[in-house]
Amino acid sequence: MTFKFFKMTIVSLFILSTYVSANDQLTIVTFQFKKKEDRDLAARFSHLDILSQNTGKAIVNSYDLKMMKEKIPHLILEAKPLKTTAFKGGPSIKGKEEEIEFPQGDEKFHTYKEVTDLLKKYARDFPTITSLSSIGTTIQGRSMWALKLTNQKNLRNEKVPGIIFMGTHHAREHLSTEVPMGLIKHLLTNYEKDPAIKDLIDSREIIIVPMINPDGAMHDIKGRRYKMWRKNMRKERNDLYGVDLNRNYGYKWGTGGSSSSRRSDVFMGPKPFSEPETIAVKDFLEENEHIKIVLSYHTFSELILYPWGHKNAGVGGKDQKVFEKMAKKMSSWTGYKPQRSSDLYIASGDTCDWVYGALKKFCFTFELTPKNYWQGGFYPGAKVIDRVIKANIKPALYLIKNAIDPYAVLKEPRTNI
């Protein structure tokens, strides 16, 4: 009896300590920047939301806060604890795939299971213009689904130009799953109705991977409570720490704006391409030379970003002009601000630096709605989904059209946007 009680106490203490250690105080930090270098410095500790030339904010975990207080106290204007706590590490929450659901009110967002089922349905309903495959398996064993939209007659023709759209590298950026899902729906349901769309699907390969980091995204919503999780689900024994997939790509990896501490939200990983998710993207893009343009959706801030991201310089030459011209054009439809990634802050190991640096393909990062933290930040609510999808259709169609020859945009007449 005594022993039983003792055992129960030990068990409950263990459960309690797991629960406590699994929750971490989040803090919203306001920064004051005197010069651009200050922004780049702060970006080494956490992901930043730049508010103006001179101010920025970041929601940080206790580890990143400690490091900031130690290393860059002069940049911190204010640090306010948030009411919500975040998952810190420790074991991940168990749960069956079909039981995972978004928090109340946000059920319209697609869970991984809903994405999987819908993509399978599309593949069944539109067999002549779609094919569904997986580009790899995540660290927790989920398939990274890719829906290819093209007329089946193209399948053996390698000359058909390709384009890839990717969503949700970062777990908490759920709107970046919805935009590629909305794009698929728009393309498929308009194939018969809109000759321009029929023509694009018939003459291109459009590859859409709505979730690069489904493990992280599902972790972020488990228990129907948002956890502000950013990274993948890399863990050691029972200690979940995660790698920032947008710091893990292998071009100029680890050269600034990322951290070698695994507790950091911008942890670059132990080596470039250490994660199955980034390896899958790498292998896929290396194997598919016909892909000319890459778009990676993220949230938030309403920006259209292009390389370089790891250094304060543009890519130069004709390519820079293509990036600028395309970004400006797409900005005219979305209102998102076009800029070089490093103008925001320096960060190395992101998708587009590798895509352009290693493969010389054009690559954009869209930071979707909202504009700032006060408009909802990473969790703007389901009410914005339709509007954001709609705003992003024209830019997507424009890139699909130009995948045949991105340099052709240089011949377009100048616009004064």
**Closer residue to Zn ion in complex, CB, 170/227:** 170
Rounded Cα distance, 400 and 201, in Å = 9
Residues marked active site are found at: 367
Structure tokens at 188: 């498929």
What is the Cα–Cα distance from 160 to 168, expressed in whole angstroms?
A: 27
- Closest residue to ligand 0X9 in the complex (CB): 309
Closest separation between CB of residue 40 and ligand 0X9, Å? 9
400 interface partner picked from ligand 0X9, Zn ion, none, CB below 5 to 8 A per type: none
Q: Report what 347 binds from Zn ion, ligand 0X9, none; CB cut-off 5-8 Å by kind.
A: ligand 0X9
Q: Least distance (Å) from Zn ion to the CB of residue 342?
A: 16
Q: Which residues contact 68 (CB under 8 A, 6 or more apart)?
A: 29, 42, 45, 46, 60, 75, 76
DSSP 276-340: HHHHHHHHHHHH-TTEEEEEEEEESSSEEEES-SSSSS---HHHHHHHHHHHHHHHHHH-PEEEE
- Rounded to a whole number of angstroms, the minimum distance from the CB of residue 256 to ligand 0X9 is 9
- Which amino acid, residue 214? P
Closer residue to Zn ion in complex, CB, 90/395: 395
Q: Does an H or E element contain 179, and which?
A: helix 175-190
Least CB distance to ligand 0X9 at residue 338 (A): 13
Instruction: Closer to ligand 0X9 by CB, 22 or 346: give it.
Output: 346
174 binds Zn ion, rule: CB under 5 A: no
Is 333 or 373 the residue whose CB approaches ligand 0X9 more closely? 373
305 binds, among ligand 0X9, Zn ion, none (CB under 5 to 8 A by kind): ligand 0X9
Choice between 136 and 256, CB closer to ligand 0X9: 256
Name the 3-class secondary structure at 81. Answer: strand
How far, in Å, CA of 113 to CA of 96, rounded? 10
**Residue ranges in 183-242 that form contacts with Zn ion under rule CB under 5 A:** none
Q: From residue 286 to residue 305, what is the string marking binding to Zn ion with x (rule CB under 5 A)?
A: ------------x-------
Per rule CB under 5 A, count of chain residues that contact Zn ion: 3
The one of ligand 0X9, Zn ion, none whose footprint includes residue 365, by CB under 5 to 8 A per kind, is ligand 0X9
- Quick check: 168 and 124 in contact, CB under 8 A? no
Q: How far is CA 208 from CA 171, 179, 240, 334, in A?
A: 18, 10, 29, 20
Output the smallest distance, CB 43 to ligand 0X9, in A.
Answer: 7
Query: Are 272 and 335 contacting, i.e. CB atoms less than 8 angstroms apart?
Result: no
Task: Select 171 or 293, whichever has its Cβ closest to Zn ion.
Answer: 171
Looking at 33-41, 164-172, 234-242, 262-270, which segment touches Zn ion (CB under 5 A)? 164-172
User: Of Zn ion, ligand 0X9, none, which one sits near residue 344, judging by CB under 5 to 8 A according to partner kind?
Assistant: ligand 0X9
**Residue numbers at the binding site for ligand 0X9 (CB under 6 A):** 47, 170, 173, 246, 298, 305, 309, 341-342, 344-345, 347, 350, 365, 367
Q: Does 170 bind Zn ion (CB under 5 A)?
A: yes
Whether the CA torsion 18, 103, 25, 173 is positive or negative: it is positive
Q: Which two tokens stand for residue 116?
A: 């999987």
Nearer to ligand 0X9, 170 or 292 (CB): 170
Cβ nearer to Zn ion, comparing 122 with 297? 297
Distances (CA, A) of 200 to 93, 218, 394: 43, 33, 13
Which of ligand 0X9, Zn ion, none does residue 142 bind (CB under 5 to 8 Å by kind)?
A: none
Please tell me the distance from the alpha carbon of residue 98 to that of residue 102, in angstroms, as a whole number.
12
Residue 350's binding partner out of Zn ion, ligand 0X9, none, with CB under 5 to 8 Å set by partner kind: ligand 0X9
Least CB distance to Zn ion at residue 157 (A): 35
Are 347 and 266 contacting, i.e. CB atoms less than 8 angstroms apart? yes
The partner in contact with residue 345, picked from Zn ion, ligand 0X9, none with C-beta cut-offs of 5 to 8 angstroms by kind, is ligand 0X9
Beta strand 49-50 with 23-32: parallel, antiparallel or unpaired?
unpaired
CB 160 within 8 A of CB 202: no
Residue 172 CB, nearest distance to Zn ion (Å)? 8
The interaxial angle of helices 214-221 and 112-125, nearest 10 deg, is 130
| Smallest gap from residue 350 Cβ to ligand 0X9 (A) | 4
Check if the beta carbon of residue 184 is closer than 8 Å to that of residue 108.
no
Q: Which listed range, 135-143, 154-162, 169-177, 190-198, lies at the site for Zn ion (CB under 5 A)?
A: 169-177
Query: What six digits make up the tokens of 53?
Result: 């030339």
Binding site for Zn ion (CB under 5 A): 170, 173, 298
